[in-house]
Amino acid sequence: MFIQTILIGFKEISSALTSDFGVWWLLTPIILLWVAMEVYFGEYKQEELGFSSTMANGFSLFWISLTSFRVFLIFEQAYANGVHRDMRVYILGFFVLYALAIIYFSFSHRLSATVVQVLAGPSLVYFFSILSVLWGQRLLGVSLPVIYALGILFVVVSISFIVLRRKLGLLGEVERIQQMDGNNHGNSA
């Protein structure tokens, strides 16, 4: 029964991704940036997501979510169809507020860099961005099967990126060795 429920959720997600191919115009840069960020931090393991990068991630999520919120309301003809009863409007509102919190904490440095890096890390921000687009475009509903499937999808994608990042690292190591070599030549002169 539980497996069937999850399969229904995956079917709804798959349908959302294929029912309107125009949505890929919005999803493609989000996905490409997400993959690029994960590969970058895999290659250059000594690099950390700084406050400026977390602020940029927060702003990206804010803009995507705000735009999705706007599109959602346009589709609903600005409250004419009882938008307040649709869970998606609250989720999109949460994404906007979450993004504003990331921007605030990144700019003000009121939380530690480690906490802000977790809150505004690529996996969470870009996953939320994708959901924002799908819910804002009204392509995906909110239901228990979808929530289960999204949870599983997030865990699988996150683990895949962790494995990918662990396998990468050559460019960062070459850069570090070159820096060390440059320091040794500078000391011997």
Q: pLDDT tens for residues 150-169?
A: 999 999 999 998 888 888 76
Residues 167, 117: Cα–Cα separation, whole Å: 21
* Residue 164 confidence (pLDDT): 85
19-23, 59-63, 81-85, 134-138: the lowest-pLDDT one: 81-85
* Residue 148 confidence (pLDDT): 95
Q: For residues 74 and 175, which has the higher predicted lDDT (pLDDT)?
A: 74
Residues 127, 141: Cα–Cα separation, whole Å: 16
* 140 secondary structure, DSSP code: S
* Residue 177 confidence (pLDDT): 63
| Per-residue confidence band for 49, with pLDDT thresholds at 50, 70 and 90 | confident
**Mean pLDDT, rounded, for 17-35:** 94
Tokens for 18, please give them.
């294929």
Is residue 78 pLDDT above 60, yes or no? no
Q: Residue 15: give the domain boundaries.
A: 2-188
Residues 13, 7: Cα–Cα separation, whole Å: 10
The total of structural domains in the chain comes to 1
**Mean pLDDT, rounded, for 110-120:** 90
| Reported pTM | 0.84
Residue 47 region by backbone torsions, left for phi larger than 0, else alpha for psi between -120 and 50, else beta: beta
Q: For residues 7 and 76, which has the higher predicted lDDT (pLDDT)?
A: 7
Neighbours of 172 (CB within 10 A): 17
Tokens for 188, please give them.
């011997």
Q: Any idea of the CA torsion for 134, 136, 139, 140, to the nearest 10 degrees?
A: 70
Average pLDDT in the chain: 86
Share of the chain above pLDDT 90, in %: 56
